[in-house]
Amino acid sequence: MKKIKGDLILTKDTIFNEDIEVTMSIKGGDFDLTVNGNIKCHNIRCGNLDAHNIECWNVDCHNIHCRDLNGGDIRCWDINSEDIRCHNIDTHNINCNDLDCWDINCNDINCHDVIYCKTLKKKANSIIRARALIKNRFQLKIKEWK
């Protein structure tokens, strides 16, 4: 396991061929991060994120903000902001509180509260659990209350 004290600041597309543990944040702007293993950190902000597993039940990973998120399993129950915000999520299983993204392509989703998306593609026998599923979110009319 590669241990990094403080922030990991990406200045180019970066690949780690092992698990990484970052005591603070991973900051990358538009740069891509590929981890051929697992990630443990506080915040992740990068262009594209590819990792085997991002497990936030036993991992302190407050925010995941990226264009594309590809991983084996994503477990995010204990994310402090309780959300994942991505353009695309393509993974096997998702387990989180709130899920806010453009397109979702996965097998199973277990979401405590609300799933917001434009499109949702799931496998034939997949299970989606949430209090609310809002698809085509950008076609909804804006309401105003006084």
CB neighbour class for 71 (10 Å; exposed up to 12, middle 13-18, buried from 19): buried
d(CA 104, CA 102): 7
**Residue extents of the structural domains in the chain:** 2-139
Strand 119-122 relative to strand 83-96: parallel, antiparallel, unpaired?
A: unpaired
pTM given for the model: 0.64
Q: Where are the beta strands (DSSP E) in the chain?
A: 2-4, 8-9, 14-16, 20-22, 25-27, 33-40, 43-45, 48-55, 63-75, 83-96, 98-111, 114-116, 119-122, 128-129, 132-134
Instruction: Report the chain's C-alpha Rg in angstroms.
Output: 16
Q: How many residues does the chain have?
A: 146
- Distance from C-alpha of 39 to C-alpha of 51, rounded to nearest angstrom: 7
Tell me the pLDDT of the chain (146 aa) as tens digits: 999 999 999 999 999 999 888 888 888 777 888 888 888 877 777 777 777 666 543 333 445 766 677 767 675 543 333 456 677 777 777 777 777 777 787 778 877 778 888 888 887 888 888 888 888 877 888 889 88
Do 111 and 99 meet the contact criterion of CB atoms below 8 Å apart?
A: yes
CA atoms of 68 and 141, how far apart (whole Å): 27
